[in-house]
Amino acid sequence: MTDIAKILTYEIKKELADRYFGFRKLIEQDKEKLEKQIRHATLTIEQRICLDLARIYILLGDEKMIQEFLDLTGLEKKIFYDPYLLESLTIRKRVFQGVRSSGFTMASRYKNLLLDSYETLVKHVAIYHQDFGELLEARETIEEEIKLFYRKHDLGNIMSFLRSLDYSSSSAAAPLVPGSGLTHGVSLEDKLRVTPPNPLDQSLPIIPRLIPLSQIRRPLKRLAARAYKLRVERFIDLQQKSEE
């Protein structure tokens, strides 16, 4: 190969590489942004929804009562539930630290605390659904970007074209060297391929929409009255812990 041919080959490879990796970098930046938003959503779940549910589970404190609550509110399973929640003094203290309830009697304070906790949970789940929808839309956009990217930059055709330029070339200075990058049976083409983000349900839980408090206030009050009779002593202890 003449020097001029080598220079032309190198320039063509460089231009293809610059175009390919330029678009690829934009997509990777979008993927990184999405991952950051997913991590933030996960933290929000831990700080809000998990805490709301833990408070309700502890207030009810009985497997049967908890199941009735789930059936009543539209939660099909015990999300973020662990029997240890009902027994751990440390968790109970943390969950109810600084929490205040209103009411003239201990029973009314218990009922209001349960209702208020559920109302807060409904609000936080609604916010989560909005965030989840935005994340889902962002992920779908990235998928479309990747599809468009490969319609314009077919990696197989690019690699074939590079091989046709200089199949025997192994110059270290040439970007996107054909045939290089083989690692444990993985081709360069496979290593350069852009993969879409993982499905959101692999990183975030699917939480159903909850029935508004206004629609189940009466049956929830009845559940609270029954649960209070079983949990009165522990509730008094919770109130004392929250005031410490």
41: which 2 tokens?
A: 């959503």
- Cα dihedral 49/102/94/219 (nearest 10): -40
- Tell how many helices (H) and how many strands (E) occur in the chain: 8, 0
CA atoms within 13 A on the CB side of 29: 6
Q: Tokens 């032309």 label which residue?
A: 8
> What count of other Cβ atoms lies within 10 Å of the Cβ of residue 99?
15
pTM for this prediction = 0.74
Place of tokens 């201990």: 106
Nearest-CA neighbor of 94 among 51, 126, 135, 53?
51
**Tell me, what's the pLDDT at 50?**
92
**134-178 pLDDT tens trace:** 999 999 999 998 888 777 665 555 555 555 555 544 444 444 444
Give the residues across from 183 on adjacent strands.
186
Give the DSSP per-residue string, 15-44: HHHHHHHHHHHHHHHHHHHHHHHHHHHHHH
Check residue 144 and report its DSSP letter.
H
Distance separating alpha carbons of residues 165 and 171, to the nearest angstrom: 13
* Distance (Å, whole) CA 103 – CA 118: 17
CA 210 – CA 135 distance, rounded (Å)? 20
Contact 34, 214 (CB under 8 A): no
Residue 186's pLDDT is 47
pLDDT tens per residue, range 50-91: 999 999 999 898 888 999 999 999 887 888 888 887 778 788
Look up residue 72 and give its amino acid: L
What pLDDT shows up at residue 236?
A: 56
As a whole number of angstroms, the distance between CA 46 and CA 33 comes to 20
What proportion of the chain, given as a percentage, has pLDDT over 90?
Answer: 32
pLDDT tens profile 99-134: 777 777 888 888 999 999 999 999 999 999 999 999
Distance in angstroms (rounded) separating the CA atoms of residues 140 and 128: 18
